[in-house]
Structure 1
Amino acid sequence: MDLRLMGFDHPLFHHIMDYAGDDKSSNSSAPSRTFMLDAKAMAATPADVKEYPNSYVFIIDMPGLKSGDIKVQVDGDNVLSISGERKREAEEKEGAKYVRMERRVGKLMRKFVLPENANKEKITAVCQDGVLTVTVENVPPPEPKKPRTIEVKIG
């Protein structure tokens, strides 16, 4: 996220985002710029997680985003990834400029490791009034096995 968009246009702040280094410098032990931006996005995206008997529900604030701007994915490692990006609104009138800009712009992201009993095929996502609700159903527990009776023959 460009700090200048948040009102930090002072030269003192210009080098802060370069602190993490460049993505191409894999020899460095410092985290990459992409990692730092993703970490910031995750820290700034509030979420609640509820466990129900048959499902898990993730509630994430996604202010200003439409459902088409939000991406919900599950990868092979059972990681639920939720992301989106709130862009700065285009200025409506020529010559208008922001006097103060406090609303957050930039990337929104959260990642959750799903439990083993989560059914990756039964996930729904609904966005209403800037709040995304993702429901992940549980795999039903296996039915208890009935004992099998074996006939004893006289032999």
Structure 2
Amino acid sequence: MQIWKFPQGFRKKNLYFFPSHPPINHPQLSNNPPRNTIKSAIETISSEKSRLMGLDNPFFHALQQLIDAADGEAGNDKSNAPTRTYVRDAKAMAATPADVVEYPNSYAFIIDMPGLKSGDIKVQVEDDNVLVISGERKREEEKESAKFMRMERRVGKFMRKFVLPENAKIDGISAVCKDGVLTVTVEKLPPPEPKKPRTIDVEIA
């Protein structure tokens, strides 16, 4: 997958968006190995980013079937675990829209989190400059006296990652979830003071 960037014209220090794993280099498809098929499907999804935005995307359903089939054939083989993680994280990120707002003294990352408690949401900073917002909404257990007639609310994992700009204050990050909306505020570092000219004494020889 390619790195998602702001439109041309934004300053270099501004934010960049990217999925959770680097692109996968894969050989040409053969007729048999299911893992090649999985990787090819991933590349197809990556090249059509506009079609990622939806929980009912047929690409994801087809891809999940390929993963399940590969799991059944591989048995206890865990060599394709990174591929499964990549797909699930990509799906979580595609289904987690966010707003990013720049203020004079801070940045704000806003994500809808309806029905979630603070313990279901995790906000972390990785590699000193990567803001990671993740969590999971679990499906309610069906009670004996009731049965679901329709289940349309989203459940499962959600995730977003943002590379913070150079002027982000890492130890000045706060998160508040109110009325189902999570707002993560990242303070800005003060602008550097202009360097004063240095005076060199001239000695008389």
Q: Which structure shows the higher strand fraction?
A: 1
How many residues of Structure 1 are paired with residues of Structure 2 in the alignment?
139
CA distance in 1, matches of 2:180, 2:128: 28
Matches within 5 A, 1:4-43: 17-20=64-67, 21-22=70-71, 24-26=78-80, 32-43=83-94
Between Structure 1 and Structure 2, the one with more helix by share is 2
Q: Which residue of 2 aligns with 1:3?
A: none
Pick from 75, 94, 98 the counterpart of residue 126 of structure 2.
75
Aligned with residue 163 of structure 2, among 113, 127, 143: 113
In structure 2, distance between residues paired with 1:96 and 1:71: 32
Amino acid of the residue matched to residue 66 of structure 1?
A: K
Paired letter, 2:66? Y
Name the TM-score, length of structure 2 as normaliser: 0.60
Between the aligned partners of 1:78 and 1:39, the Cα distance in structure 2 is 20
Structural RMSD (CA): 2.5
List gaps (5 residues or longer) in structure 2. Answer: 1-54, 56-60, 72-76
2:189 equivalent among 135, 139, 146: 139
Q: What displacement does 1:119 show?
A: 1.3
State percent identity of aligned pairs. Answer: 74
- What are the ranges of 5 or more consecutive residues in structure 1 without an aligned counterpart? 1-5, 7-12
What is the TM-score of this pair, normalised by structure 1?
0.78
Q: Which runs of 4 or more aligned residues in structure 1 lie more than 3 Å from their structure 2 counterparts after TM superposition?
A: 20-23, 148-155
